[in-house]
Structure 1
Amino acid sequence: MFRFTSSEVRDLIIAFIVISLCFAIVQGGRNTDVILSILPIVMIGVGAGFILHELGHKFVSMKYGYWAEFKLWPQGLIFALITSFFGFVFAAPGAVYTYANYMTDEINGKISIAGPIVNIVLALIFLAIATAVYPDALYSENIALIFIICATGYSINSFLAVFNLLPIGNLDGSKVLTWNVGIWLVTILIAGILTLLSMTIGVENIVRIILGM
């Protein structure tokens, strides 16, 4: 059964708020007024990206019959806040811990890759919505807000995917690489391209290219 403990819900909420603030600091250029104004928009992208990423790990773990629970890493939250003031976010606020006496590299890899795949899918969904609403966003403030939310969601989720796929320490990428080099290469390449496009030409230009504008 897909269940949550009260401490797990608490940890997810705390991590969600702090990580949202970190991304708002990065995008707001440390301007308090800008940070507060864009925080609700950032929270939608981070909320979908962070929460569903962790739930992806939890769902696959429990699918294999293991108990899985998200636990906060306070040091990771503090480090994320510190790095946000330098223009980037080292997003490691916690992790889903899977409790098992024994686990193969394959199962561990599948559990680990679930989170980044969720982020890749979300990034593409946000991009698709942004593309669909863009022509009308030019003439409507409400639709323009939807476009901004989706553009932010695309950028954040593509970044979360490629970041978590890095084969560093206890990040997902290390476990996926141990399981299957080919699958790791394909997923980090996709996530890397999505992130690179977001950071170089920008989401609006990506949408304009898709629409042939």
Structure 2
Amino acid sequence: MFKFTSSEIRDLIIAFIVISLSFAIVNGGRNPSAVLSILPIVMVGVGAGFILHELGHKFVSMKYGYWAEFKLWPQGLIFALVSSFLGFVFAAPGAVYTYANYMTDEINGKISIAGPVVNIILALIFLAICVAIYPSAFNSETSVLIFIICSVGYSINSFLAAFNLIPIGNLDGSKVLTWNAGIWTITIAIAGIMTVMSMTMGVETIVRIILGF
């Protein structure tokens, strides 16, 4: 059963707002009006990606009987905003801290990989919606809006998965690699390919290839 403290809910909301704004700045080209217009769209992808990523860690931690709580990393919030003005997002506004006297590398790895796997699954769900909605997007403004939202959702979640699987510092990738190099290689390869495709080809091109257009 999930339990949240008031400080944890506060930290999640603050992190969500800052990360959403950071991605909006990057996607809006640092133009204030463009940032404001794209912010609600970005918040859908970030909201699903960031919140469910952290809940993935929390759920697996609590499954093993540990108490887990999300806490802000103030420096990470600053890095996210500053990096967004440089054209990328350092997406590490905080982390789920698992409290345990002892934890094996396997359990730590499984807790750590839960977040990126959630992002990969979400990215694929967003992509599937894009594929389903694309044929009707030519004559429906609602379909166009849904397609744009899901395109951004795919791109953001792919990036979040790949970024968190980088094996440096306290990112998830370090703990997953320590636990199982094979699983780390497979997951970062999937997330990396998805991210590169979204950055180089664009989601619409990916969808058109899938549909055979």
**TM bucket normalised to smaller:** over 0.9
For 2:122, the aligned partner's letter is L
Q: Report the 3-state secondary structure (helix = DSSP H, G, I; strand = E; otherwise coil) of the residue aligned with 1:92.
A: coil
CA displacement, residues 107-135 of structure 1 (integer Å, 9 cap, x when unaligned): 00000000000000000000000000001
CA–CA separation in structure 2 for the residues paired with 1:3 and 1:116: 22
For 1:20, the aligned partner's letter is S
Cα RMSD after superposing both structures: 0.4
CA–CA separation in structure 1 for the residues paired with 2:211 and 2:180: 36
CA–CA separation in structure 2 for the residues paired with 1:47 and 1:138: 27
CA displacement, residues 86-114 of structure 1 (integer Å, 9 cap, x when unaligned): 00000000000000000000000000000
2:132 paired residue number: 132
CA–CA separation in structure 1 for the residues paired with 2:176 and 2:76: 21
Identity of aligned residues (%): 83
Q: Report the 3-state secondary structure (helix = DSSP H, G, I; strand = E; otherwise coil) of the residue aligned with 1:87.
A: coil
Give the drift of 1:52: 0.1
Q: Report the 3-state secondary structure (helix = DSSP H, G, I; strand = E; otherwise coil) of the residue aligned with 1:51.
A: helix
CA displacement, residues 190-210 of structure 1 (integer Å, 9 cap, x when unaligned): 000100100001000000000
1:122 paired residue number: 122
In the TM superposition, what are the counterparts of 1:19-58 in structure 2 within 5 Å?
A: 19-58=19-58
CA–CA separation in structure 2 for the residues paired with 1:68 and 1:47: 20
Normalised to the residue count of structure 2, the TM-score between the two structures is: 1.00
CA–CA separation in structure 2 for the residues paired with 1:93 and 1:2: 21
Give the drift of 1:145: 0.2
Q: Report the 3-state secondary structure (helix = DSSP H, G, I; strand = E; otherwise coil) of the residue aligned with 2:170.
A: coil
For 1:56, the aligned partner's letter is G
Q: Report the 3-state secondary structure (helix = DSSP H, G, I; strand = E; otherwise coil) of the residue aligned with 2:142.
A: helix
Give the drift of 1:2: 1.1
Give the drift of 1:142: 0.9
CA–CA separation in structure 1 for the residues paired with 2:192 and 2:139: 33
Q: Report the 3-state secondary structure (helix = DSSP H, G, I; strand = E; otherwise coil) of the residue aligned with 1:95.
A: strand
1:196 paired residue number: 196
CA displacement, residues 57-76 of structure 1 (integer Å, 9 cap, x when unaligned): 00000000000000001110
For 1:102, the aligned partner's letter is Y
In the TM superposition, what are the counterparts of 1:31-110 in structure 2 within 5 Å?
A: 31-110=31-110
In the TM superposition, what are the counterparts of 1:162-181 in structure 2 within 5 Å?
A: 162-181=162-181
Q: Give the count of matched residue pairs.
A: 213
CA–CA separation in structure 1 for the residues paired with 2:173 and 2:132: 32
1:209 paired residue number: 209
Give the drift of 1:26: 0.1
CA–CA separation in structure 1 for the residues paired with 2:25 and 2:76: 17
Q: Which runs of 4+ in 1 moved over 6 A?
A: none
For 2:22, the aligned partner's letter is C
CA–CA separation in structure 2 for the residues paired with 1:31 and 1:196: 25
CA–CA separation in structure 2 for the residues paired with 1:165 and 1:75: 20
Normalised to the residue count of structure 1, the TM-score between the two structures is: 1.00
For 1:40, the aligned partner's letter is P
CA–CA separation in structure 2 for the residues paired with 1:14 and 1:138: 37
Give the drift of 1:138: 1.2
Q: Report the 3-state secondary structure (helix = DSSP H, G, I; strand = E; otherwise coil) of the residue aligned with 1:68.
A: strand
